[in-house]
Amino acid sequence: MLTLGLLIWALIVIVLFKLYQKYVERQVFLSRIAHIPGPPSRPLVGNGLDFKGTTDVLPVMMQYTKEYGPTYRLFLGADTNIVTSDLKFIEFLVTSTTQITKSLSYRFLDKWLGTGLLTASNPKWKKHRRLLTPTFHFKILNDCIPIFHSNAQNLIEHWKGSNGKMVDIHKDVLLCSLDVICETAMGNPIGALKQRNGSHYVKAVKHMTKMVVERTFSIWRQFDWIYQMSPEYQADKKNTAFLHGVTEGVIKVKRQRLAEKESKESKDNEEDLDDSFGKNKLAFLDLLLKCSTEEGGTLTNEEIRQEVDTFMFAGHDTISSGMSFTLYLLSQHQDVQEKAFEEVSKILGEDNTITMEKLNEMKYLEMVIKESLRLFPPVPMIGREFTDNVVYDGEVYPKGLQITILLYAVHRCSEIYEEPNKFNPERFTSENCAKRSNYAYLPFSAGPRNCIGQKFAMLEMKSMLSSLLLKFRFKPSNEELQIASETVLTSLNGINVHIETR
């Protein structure tokens, strides 16, 4: 009996000692960020109650930036965040080759995207980045242009019956972008726009991306064991299973086609397999499957699915956001639209043939797109986590600290951009760009973890927008956008414009 009592007391002492250790560690952690200002926080919940929904995220964070400066601290339940739009700090963060781990909020994507290129950390990220970079080679991008053009024609055909009507362009652009990524990167046309068979996929992605932001800013839903008791968790499971099913279907079709080619022993067919987008430059999914079948395969089936999930998501959702907001801004600024139309008309000529050379000549359209991405960056914030104690500007930032780079605030900073809320493509002349920091404009991030598909995205947007401008005049609607940060920037009431045939 005495022995049992001593054991209980020993356990109590151990528990109390562990709790004391945690308390001391927490106090040391907090002392290292004590010099950073921020809004008052409440016990347990921190600043979490300041965010009521996805439409509150950016306005509240922008207000904090105004009140507390470009770098401030934010407590979201157990997570301690530093939010920054300071260019010097951002340069330090994005150029680091060691502190490249994504912040904890990305963990909410794990069941869907796993540890694909978007969410992976070292050393897996470096391995996959090195492997996938060749799929964005110039030759492959050049061979994508006819696919961009044909899908633009599908969108034009779809909008022909909307002459004079108001259209939520984002819905159609989403499906068209899904068609593009499936045909270019996966080699598997799905007819999402024509057959409207991509709507379920688009809705499932929207649910998942919204969930990430809601869980990040919801104190209770951050905890898995609480979240798993909610109806939203069941919806997540259902959508994740559906999205994985779509991806596995795409992979299965591609495997079958490759197997059919491999079964033919002629030299021509063998070259065709290894040369689907140019000499020794395999398309995205071809490369993934090749790496899985080589001796000592470098990629598992699960890793292939994770990368395909990642690219299908990023390759349609972010690009469609950028393209839709660009069309919206053009509808609001008829002078800019006409100038872009005149440039496109002159360069494309009577046959309207689109080539890489012609797209590269469209300097004004590129300025329009860049200015649109400044005002409405598809990904308005990105996150990092310090995996070691980090020294910056004479201060020690503790291991485990979450860092949010608020790109939306950087792009709308009055100290960088005069009249920052005004749409002015002239900001992106080569002369004006040379006057700004390289970190004043980051729609595709920067440094080692910049967007691997940024050239693909710009070419797709230029190609499709140039085709659309030739056929349509976009006029403004009277509806104000309800901007929401749902991982990818969106408008809850759609992006509505009037479409007129030229």
Is the separation of the CB atoms in 362 and 344 below 8 Å? yes
Tell me if 20 is assigned to some domain. no
Tell me if 60 is assigned to some domain. yes
What is the number of residues in the chain? 502
Tell me if 14 is assigned to some domain. no
Residue 467 neighbours by CB under 8 Å, 6+ apart: 149, 152, 153, 156, 352, 354
Cα 334 to Cα 340: distance, rounded to the nearest angstrom: 10
CATH number for the domain including 122? 1.10.630.10
Q: How many domains does the chain have?
A: 1
Cα 406 to Cα 386: distance, rounded to the nearest angstrom: 17
Tell me if 4 is assigned to some domain. no
First to last CA, the chain: 93
Tell me if 10 is assigned to some domain. no
Per the DSSP assignment, residues forming a β-bridge with 276 are 278
Cα 20 to Cα 56: distance, rounded to the nearest angstrom: 37
Number of H helices, E strands in the chain: 20, 11
- Domain that includes residue 149, residue range: 32-501
Chain centroid, CA 229 distance in Å: 29
Tell me if 285 is assigned to some domain. yes
Kind plus residue range of the DSSP H or E element containing 405: strand 402-406
Q: Is the peptide bond before 123 cis (omega within 30 degrees of 0)?
A: yes
- Strands 483-486 and 395-397 turn out to be unpaired
Could you list the pLDDT tens digit for every one of the 502 residues in the chain? Answer: 557 777 888 888 888 888 888 888 888 888 899 999 999 998 888 898 899 889 999 999 999 999 999 999 999 877 899 999 999 999 999 999 889 899 988 889 999 999 888 888 878 888 889 888 888 888 889 999 999 999 999 999 999 988 888 999 999 999 999 999 999 988 888 888 988 777 889 999 999 999 999 888 888 888 888 888 888 899 999 999 999 999 998 888 888 877 777 776 445 544 454 444 444 456 788 888 887 665 455 788 888 999 999 999 988 999 999 999 999 999 999 999 999 999 999 999 888 889 999 999 999 999 999 999 999 999 999 999 999 999 999 999 999 999 999 999 999 999 999 999 999 999 999 999 999 999 999 999 999 999 999 999 999 999 999 999 999 999 999 889 999 999 999 999 999 999 999 8
Three-state DSSP state, 189: coil
Tell me if 434 is assigned to some domain. yes
Burial of 3 by CB count in 10 Å (0-12 exposed, 13-18 middle, 19+ buried)? exposed
Tokens standing for 112? 């869907």
DSSP 452: T
Rounded alpha-carbon distances, angstroms, from residue 273 to 248, 255, 286, 332 = 21, 12, 9, 47
Tokens standing for 304? 């292939």
Q: Give the phi and the psi of residue 81 in degrees, each rounded to 5.
A: -115, 145
Kind plus residue range of the DSSP H or E element containing 89: helix 87-94
Tell me if 6 is assigned to some domain. no
Instruction: Look up tokens 């795409």; give the residue.
Output: 250
